[in-house]
Amino acid sequence: MMTGREYVESLKKLKPKVYFMGKEVESVADHPVLRPHVNAAAMTYELAHEPDYEEIMTARSHLTGEKINRFTHIHQSTEDLVKKVKMMRLLGQKTGACFQRCVGFDALNALYIVTYDVDKKLGTDYHERLKKYLLYVQKNDLMCAGAMTDVKGDRGLRPHQQKDPDMYVHAVEKTEAGIIVRGAKAHITGAANSHEIIVMPTRALGPEDKDYAVSFAVPVDTEGVYLIFGRQPNELRRLESFIDCGNAKYGAVGGEALIIFDNVFVPWERVFMCGEYEFAGELVEIFATFHRQNYGGCKVGVADVLVGATTNIAEYIGVANASHVIDKITEMMFMAEACWCGSLACSYEGYKTPSGAYMPNPLLANVTKLLITRFPYEWSRLAQDIAGGLLATCPSERDFKHPKIGKFVEKYCKGVAEVPTEHRIRMLRLIEALSIGAHLVESLHGAGSPQAQKIMIWRRGNIEAKKQLAKIIAGIEEDKYFKRITGKSEEEYFEEFMRKVKQAHK
């Protein structure tokens, strides 16, 4: 297993074509805007070597029996699923940011399950290909970016109906050696600082869309792959100061990129689906279940940091003992722990698939993610309420350190006398980074927007069974247990009941 430092050094050996603000990035590991995301991902490597965290950060490969980083593992039990979300919360606490590696992790697990199903039905050999690829990932402790979301173009049209066929990634040619693909994937977390990119279809597909039913893996620096690094709120502060960034060490969300596939060649041994359109929807749903499971872990870990920062700022300005402040911070913790309950529940209620791998309960995973589309907005609002207006108007680090006006910033931005002004400014900037902007957008749209979760909850909610429950309780349909309990049918029981009622009235 690599250490955090070794992971950073491994990135320097790659030559991906990454662009930011119209310029090509020479080294992802050395660029001041990208480096915080590298540091956050490095934490997934570094903590695996800490004795205190070894149990949740590592696992035993079911293929080799060797000790591996959990981010390269295929879940073999509900205990693995629980350890996964505990790992997510831990990393959220340690970075206060997105550590990016979970998307590729979920892609590997989803493909492990689906390729087994495809092979069983169609006689293909995708599952064996995936296992060989998995061995490669585990042996080299690689970070994989999971790439599912297509740019979609006109969302009222299916992939094959698009005026521009490249609005969804598709196979444009098949050869004896492999396939050639074209298209783009959007919002891909950690893409620039990954070793590999794992592509999956983004939606259920029909026969006319079979060219879009494609899944494969390529090294990040493959010929024809271009990564355009997305902008984030206040990201250029990283070029100006350290304190003003708020979380200069680890960034904010996951350094998302638009990935272009411009006639990219993929050898067959790295192709895990090509034309099997009837399995595209299954892959999307299983991947989404894995990814939505995570959010009550990682986002709650970040919320733990925000709760701590909010409590600190309350102490720094002398209001920590006010009853309404205590109530608001308690409310923040309540919402975070409610989301945590969701991640634990869907993990403990997970089940074994025919492939032998385990997956979370889909209904509860979607409930977890739907909570995350709501509660972070509320706990962020409460943090902003307690922090006060200086959260939005605080002078810059340059002003604070200015030889002439710095003394005024020091004097007039102070809270309680015992706390240095710089501490208050640093904590305000951290709250700003955690409660404003990209974190909230990612909470809403990461792993699918709220409507996607509602669709799955409706599908998985077993509404017909719930209707039946109501009909039985209302006496519209037979209650077999009631007759066992009373020894009478409902009609017989009702007649006897009414006789007793009349006698009671007399």
Annotated catalytic residue: which of 58, 75, 78, 102?
102
**115, 149, 189, 368: which one is catalytic?**
189
Q: Catalytic residue among 295, 310, 316, 432, which?
A: 295
Tens of pLDDT, residue by residue over 189-204, are 999 999 999 999 999 9
At 373 the pLDDT is: 97
Query: Cβ(83)–Cβ(56) under 8 Å?
Result: yes
102 given a catalytic annotation: yes
* Per-residue model confidence (pLDDT) at position 438: 82
Residue 346 bears catalytic tag: no
**Which amino acid appears at position 393 of this protein?**
T
| Per-residue pLDDT, 235 | 86
Strand-pair category, 67-69 with 58-60? antiparallel
256 labelled catalytic: yes
Decide if 139 contacts 196 (C-beta within 8 A). Answer: no
Please tell me the predicted confidence (pLDDT) of residue 310: 98
> Architecture of 284-460 per CATH?
Up-down Bundle (1.20)
Strand order of the β-sheet with 225-229 is: 23-24, 17-20, 225-229, 257-267, 178-188, 170-174
Q: How far is CA 277 from CA 62, 119, 146, 200, in A?
A: 29, 14, 19, 12
**pLDDT tens-digit readout, 69-84:** 999 999 999 999 999 9
Catalytic option among 98, 144, 346, 394: 98
Please confirm, yes or no, whether 19 is among the known catalytic residues. no
- Which residue is it, tokens 């209302």? 474
pTM of the model: 0.94
Q: Which of 298, 339, 346, 394 is an active site residue?
A: 298
* Residue 397 known to be catalytic: no
Active site residue 298: yes
Q: What is the tally of helices (H) and strands (E) in the chain?
A: 19, 14
Known catalytic membership, residue 189: yes
DSSP string, 34-79: THHHHHHHHHHHHGGG-GGGHHHHEEE-TTT--EEEGGGPPP-SHH
Q: What are phi and psi of 258, to 5 degrees?
A: -90, 120
CA dihedral sign of residues 105, 107, 113, 116: negative
What per-residue confidence (pLDDT) applies to 233?
A: 83
Alpha-carbon Rg for the chain, nearest whole angstrom, is: 26
Q: Which of 46, 235, 256, 397 is catalytic?
A: 256
Output the pLDDT for position 184: 98
pLDDT in tens, the chain (506 residues): 999 999 999 999 999 999 999 999 999 999 999 999 999 999 999 999 999 999 999 999 999 999 999 999 999 999 999 999 999 999 999 999 999 999 999 999 999 999 999 999 999 999 999 999 999 999 999 999 999 999 999 999 999 999 999 999 999 999 999 999 999 999 999 999 999 999 999 999 999 999 999 999 999 999 999 999 999 888 889 888 999 999 999 998 888 999 999 999 999 999 999 999 999 999 999 999 999 999 999 999 999 999 999 999 999 999 999 999 999 999 999 999 999 999 999 999 999 999 999 999 999 999 999 999 999 999 999 999 999 999 999 999 999 999 999 999 999 999 999 999 999 999 999 999 999 878 888 899 999 989 999 999 999 999 999 999 999 999 999 999 998 999 999 899 999 999 999 999 88
Q: What is the pLDDT of residue 164?
A: 98
Q: How far is CA 396 from the centre of its chain?
A: 32
The candidate with the shortest Cα–Cα distance to 237, out of 246, 229, 245, 226, is 245
Q: Decide the pairing of beta strands 196-199 and 144-147.
A: parallel
Domain ranges of the chain: 284-460, 463-505
